[in-house]
Structures are given as C-alpha cells and as structure tokens.
Amino acid sequence: MDLRVTLSPNAPSECPVFAYTGGRSPAPDRPWIVFLHGAGNDHSVWMLQTRAFAARGWNVLAPDLPGHGRSGGQALDTIEALADWTLRLLDAAAIERCALVGHSMGSLIALHLASIAPERVFRLALVGSVFPMPVAPALLDKARIDPPAAHALINQWSFAPATLLGRSAVPGIHPAAVNERLLQRQPVGTLPVALQACNAYAGGFEAAARIHCPTLLLSAAQDRMTPPKALAPLADAFTSSAMPQRVVIPGAGHAMMNEAPTAVLEALERFMTPPAG
C-alpha cells in the first residue's frame, strides 16, 4: 500500500510511505493490526506474522518508518515524533482502531501512541521491549562514524549463539546475514538517529500508566539488547487494571521474529482478539 504522510504536523509537504499489507487488500469488515519495526529495519522483519494474520481474517499494515526501507523522508529523532507520525499514518489509511504490535524502537512508538490516543488501540503487543531503552555509547558512536562496525555489533547482540553459528528456522537462510544486509540497505544516517531516539526517550513509565487496553510483553530468553529481566520496571508501571501478560520465548534473541518466527506468531495469535462488533 502506497500512502503519503507529513513528517511533522507543520511539514509543508507529504512524504511517500510504503506499507506492506500481508499480500491481501484491506476489506471493510475486517479488524486492523499494525506492525512497527525497530531501528535500522523495515517491514520485512514481520514477513511471516503479517502474511499469517492477513490470511486469517485481519487487515494488515506494516509500514517502513520514515527514512527506513522504501519510505521517503528522513528518520525522525524522537519517539514522540514517530508516534505522532504513526497516528497520521492511521488517518491516511483510514484506520479508526487497530491492534498495535511494535518491536524494539517500534515498541516504544506503540507504547507512546497507545497512551496519547487510547481510543485508536484495542490491543497492544510490545515485542523485545524495555524501558528505559539505553543504547551503549560504543554502539551510538559506531553508528555515526563506522556503520559496518555498528552492524556487526547489532548482529552480535541480536541473536542467540546457536543462530550466530548457523542455526536457522528456515533451511538455507542465515538470519544474521539477512539482518546485516537489511541494516546495510538503510539510508546513511538513519541508524544513529533511530538509536538515539530510543536512548533519549523518557516517557515510558508515564505512558504505561495511561494504558488501559490489554497488553502483551513478549520477550526472548537470550535477548541481550532488551533482556527479559530488564522488563520488570516497565511491567510494574502499568496500572493494576491493565496488568500486561508476559511471555518469554526460549532459545531466541532480540531478533526473535526471524529466529523464532512461528513462536512469535503463536504468541501474538493467542493474545489477539478482534474487538466486539
């Protein structure tokens, strides 16, 4: 789906946005589910999950965020700006309410969006998420001055050891190599801006306290970037009436959608329920 969205409310012109629909055109009688990727990625990290939900009766939207993938414009430098942009994207796609899924940086965007526009989100899934989401100074520096070294660090930290040694859920595909190529394809300058947005975001606890829709916190046991044990402060920030479900996928790291695609899909399917009516 090709859309056009302004980068900011005061932007003079709209920028093109590429959004994947799971291979099916939206239908008016289906619920919507929106997938948000992380820093340096694009819609393709959700390939199995988007296609499966589209085949099972959902309208799917998985955009490339500004400055990423096939979307235009430059990367936005705050989580708040990305959440505002995503709201304008929902308007452009005529999506009144949706289930919202975000991974890593995308999880912070989803969290913030659900807190400022609760009427637009009926289910929230935060995948590979923590708050705060600090980024190592070494990675921030390398993203600015030595992108190949930054890509190598991200790959090292994003996958379980067995995957780095060649294990794959899809025979003949090396997930770490695919992820490295995905990082290489992003426009120059996108990665450091996106990583700094994660590092600087300060509103996570306040956002969680404003969430009232059912929420899933999906982690991976061998995630070294957003480890499950670091999720406790964010989980505790939700109100007792919106206590999130927590699921941990064994044997996978931060890039769990690629390492354990079926397990991620099954966890999301168990959680997602279309709104009544």
Q: What distance in Å separates the CA atoms of residue 66 and residue 2, rounded to the nearest whole number? A: 13
Per-residue pLDDT reduced to its tens digit, 212-228? 999 999 999 999 999 99
Nearest to 103 by CA among 59, 23, 49, 31: 49
127-172 pLDDT tens trace: 999 999 999 999 999 999 999 999 999 999 999 999 998 888 888 8
Backbone angles phi and psi of 28, in degrees to 5: -65, -20
- What's the rounded Cα separation, in Å, for the pair 201 and 153? 22
| pLDDT for 166 | 86
- pTM, full prediction: 0.96
The structural domains of the chain, ordered by start, are 2-271 (3.40.50.1820)
Longest dimension (CA), the chain: 52
